[in-house]
């Protein structure tokens, strides 16, 4: 009898239904009224009393195992059926629309600025984000004691020789001058890094776009006219610009460029702090020392350079009040630019 019980146990363990109906068939065959277990129960009545205890336990075990196994199989097949039903395509239902992403506002504005300058004959130049001292500072006429060379202001990766994260995209202009002889007309967009506390108006990572134009007889008037054209294209035809004297190590003379406030039209509002003007970029005539450092004859050639923060242009263009929004990638912010441009 033990052999019979074990044989049944083995069949229960090895049972693999190929359809849900087979489970019920199997149950009736084993556990049903006229099933094999009940047949064994009949036999059990006639066994010798001294064997009853042992065989009784074996029969109980068989009953439990068979019940558990059948219940588990039933559940398994029900779950699979539910899943199949859910994934079955109903071809009569309307389709789900593919969700399209949108361009990041920084990319939108960058592309627009590049496009404006490409109409003036500028091509795009690129360069590495990890730079050396020469391309970020020395070739651009930064004096040795300039604060930008300090750990407070710049992220250094190594000291002596200095390897650092570029603090402005002017380094791309140096790399362009190394590669190319005048005439040079390049626009250099890129990510830059400064050791600044993060707030609504400053971030340690941001984007710049800088331009460089070197040729024979390039004048300050050329620069002013190019920048006015740029301002009108980006902020609207009515936009005016003004220049204020400033200082950069790599340009002489240097200026800060303001555009008339596009929100109040120059009358004065909270965005322009009542002045009617918004500061937008730095610019200047390339310092002869920079030309010399890059093997360009300052007697023959002159040029101008300008640089601006893309975040700032985008803030003014779209009325974004907190610079940190650009880096958080919150889709509620980003989707507002779906239709932009
Ligand atoms: N490199 C300057 C900056 O990062 C911007 C600039 C570029 C100014 C070219 C003048 C000329 O602030």
Q: Kindly tell me if the per-residue pLDDT of 3 is higher than 80.
A: yes
pLDDT at 43 over 50: yes
Rounded distance from Cα 256 to ligand 1 centre (Å): 9
Report the C-alpha gap between 226 and 200 in whole angstroms.
31
Q: In the predicted model, is pLDDT for residue 99 greater than 80? A: no
- For the chain, the 3-state helix, strand and coil shares in percent, each to the nearest 5, are 45, 20, 35
Strands 241-248 and 123-124, bridge-based pairing: unpaired
Count the alpha carbons within 13 Å of 77 in the hemisphere toward its beta carbon. 15
pLDDT, tens digit, 9 for 90 and up, residues 108-167: 999 999 999 999 999 999 999 999 999 999 999 998 888 878 777 899 999 888 899 999
* Minimum CA distance residue for ligand 1 atom 6: 307
Ligand 1 atom nearest 192 alpha carbon: 4
Q: What is the pLDDT of residues 210-219, one digit of tens each?
A: 999 999 999 9
CA 247 to chain centre: 35
**Quick one: average pLDDT of 45-53?**
85
Segment 168-201, tens digit of pLDDT:
999 999 999 999 999 999 999 999 999 989 988 8
- The confidence band for 205, taking pLDDT boundaries of 50, 70 and 90, is very high
Would you call 219 helix, strand, or coil by DSSP?
A: coil
Q: Is a pLDDT exceeding 70 seen at residue 340?
A: no
Q: Best of 168, 169, 287 to mutate for ligand 1, by most ligand atoms within 8 A of CB?
A: 168
pLDDT of res. 303: 96
User: How far does the centroid of ligand 1 lie from the alpha carbon of residue 307, in Å?
Assistant: 4
Rounded distance from Cα 180 to ligand 1 centre (Å): 21
Percent above pLDDT 90 for the chain: 52
- How many A from CA of 170 to the centre of ligand 1? 7
- Measured from the Cα of 211, ligand 1's closest atom is 9
Q: How confident is the model over 272-313, as pLDDT tens digits?
A: 888 999 999 999 999 999 999 999 999 999 999 999 999 999
Most confident of 42-46, 61-65, 224-228, 335-339: 224-228
Which pLDDT belongs to residue 339?
A: 65
pLDDT reported for residue 163 = 93
Average pLDDT (79-83) is 80
Rounded (5°) CA angle 41-45-47? 110
- Overall average pLDDT of the 53-59 stretch: 87
Token couple for 109: 């504005």
Average pLDDT over residues 86-101: 77
Residues with CB under 6 A from ligand 1: 168, 170, 210, 248, 251, 282-284, 305-307
Which pLDDT score, from 0 to 100, does residue 222 have? 96
Report the alpha-carbon distance of residue 224 to residue 20 in Å, rounded: 82
Q: Decide if pLDDT at 19 tops 60.
A: yes
Distance 215 CA to ligand 1 centre (A): 19
Q: What are phi and psi of 219, to 5 degrees?
A: -120, 170
**CA 201 / ligand 1 centre spacing (Å):** 18
Name the residue of 166, 226, 249, 282 whose CB sits within 8 Å of the most ligand 1 atoms, as the mutation to test its pocket.
Answer: 282
Atom of ligand 1 nearest to the CA of 170: 1
Give nearest CA residue, ligand 1 atom 10. Answer: 283
Query: Which pLDDT score, from 0 to 100, does residue 102 have?
Result: 81
Cis peptide before 276 (omega within 30 of 0): no
Confidence bin at 97 (pLDDT 50/70/90): confident
Pocket test for ligand 1, best of 194, 212, 250, 287 (most atoms within 8 A of CB): 250
The mean pLDDT value of the chain amounts to 89
């Amino acid at each position: 009898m033990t052999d019979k019980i074990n044989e049944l146990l083995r069949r229960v363990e090895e049972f693999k239904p190929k359809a849900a109906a087979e489970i019920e068939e199997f149950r009736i065959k084993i556990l049903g009224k006229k099933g094999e277990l009940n047949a064994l129960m009949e036999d059990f009545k006639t066994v010798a009393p001294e064997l009853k205890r042992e065989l009784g336990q074996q029969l109980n075990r068989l009953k439990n195992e068979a019940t558990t196994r059948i219940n588990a199989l039933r559940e398994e097949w029900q779950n699979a059926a539910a899943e199949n039903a859910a994934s079955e395509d109903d071809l009569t239902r309307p389709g789900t629309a593919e969700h399209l992403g949108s361009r990041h506002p920084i990319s939108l504005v960058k592309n627009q600025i590049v496009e404006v300058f490409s109409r003036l004959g500028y091509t795009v130049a690129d360069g590495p984000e990890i730079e050396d001292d020469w391309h970020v500072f020395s070739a651009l006429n930064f004096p040795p004691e300039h604060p930008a060379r300090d750990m407070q202001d710049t992220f250094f990766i190594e000291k002596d020789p200095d390897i650092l994260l570029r603090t402005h995209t002017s380094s791309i202009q140096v790399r362009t001058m190394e590669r190319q002889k005048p005439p040079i007309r390049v626009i250099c967009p890129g990510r830059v890094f400064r050791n600044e506390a993060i707030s609504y108006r400053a971030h340690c990572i941001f984007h710049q776009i800088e331009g460089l134009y070197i040729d024979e007889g390039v004048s300050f008037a050329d620069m002013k006219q190019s920048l006015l054209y740029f301002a009108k294209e980006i902020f609207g035809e009515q936009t005016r610009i003004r220049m204020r004297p400033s200082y950069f190590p790599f340009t002489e003379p240097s200026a800060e460029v303001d555009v008339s406030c596009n929100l109040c039209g120059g009358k004065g509002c909270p965005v322009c702090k009542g002045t009617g003007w918004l500061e937008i970029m730095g610019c200047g005539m390339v310092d002869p020392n920079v030309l010399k450092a890059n093997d360009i004859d300052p007697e023959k050639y002159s040029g101008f350079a300008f640089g601006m923060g893309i975040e700032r242009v985008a803030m003014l263009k779209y009325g974004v009040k907190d610079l940190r929004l650009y880096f958080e990638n919150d889709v509620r912010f980003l989707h507002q630019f779906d239709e932009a441009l």
